Amino acid sequence: MQDFHVDFAVLLTAATLLTGIGWALNKWVLAPRRGEGVPPNAIVDFCQSFFPVIAAVLLLRSFVAEPFRIPSGSMIPTLLVGDFILVNKFAYGLRDPAFHTKFLANGEPQRGDIVVFRYPLDPRQDYIKRIIGLPGDHIAYKEKRLTVNGQEMSQEADGAFPVQGPHASGVVYRLSEDLAGVRHHVLVDPDRPSDDFEFTVPEGQYFAMGDNRDGSSDSRVWGTVPEKNLVGKAFFIWMSWDSVRTRVDFSRIGTVIK
The per-residue pLDDT for range 45-54, each reduced to its tens digit, is: 999 999 999 9
To the query of whether residue 176 is one of the catalytic residues in this protein, the response is no
- Does residue 213 sit in helix, strand or coil? coil
Check 89, 129, 144, 233 and give the catalytic one.
129
Would you say how long the chain is, in residues? 258
The per-residue pLDDT for range 59-75, each reduced to its tens digit, is: 999 999 999 999 999 99
- Residue 245 pLDDT class (50, 70, 90 cuts): confident
Q: Tell me what pLDDT residue 1 has.
A: 46
Q: Tell me what pLDDT residue 6 has.
A: 86
Q: Which CATH superfamily is domain 65-248 in?
A: Umud Fragment, subunit A (2.10.109.10)
- Residue 224 pLDDT class (50, 70, 90 cuts): very high
Provide the residue ranges of all domains of the chain, joining segments of one domain with +. Answer: 8-63, 65-248
Cβ neighbors of 162 (< 8 A, separation 6 or more) are 170, 171
| pLDDT mean over 21-35 | 90
pLDDT at residue 167 tops 70: no
- Mean pLDDT, rounded, of the chain: 93
Output the CA–CA distances (angstroms, integers) from residue 219 to 17, 52, 120, 127, 210, in the order listed: 37, 41, 10, 11, 9
Q: Measured in Å, how far apart are the chain's first and last C-alpha atoms?
A: 35
- Residue 131 pLDDT class (50, 70, 90 cuts): very high
To the query of whether residue 27 is one of the catalytic residues in this protein, the response is no
Helix, strand, coil abundance in the chain, percent, nearest 5 = 20, 35, 40
DSSP-derived letter for residue 42 is H
| Furthest-apart CA atoms within the chain: distance in Å | 78
Check 74, 216, 219, 240 and give the catalytic one.
74
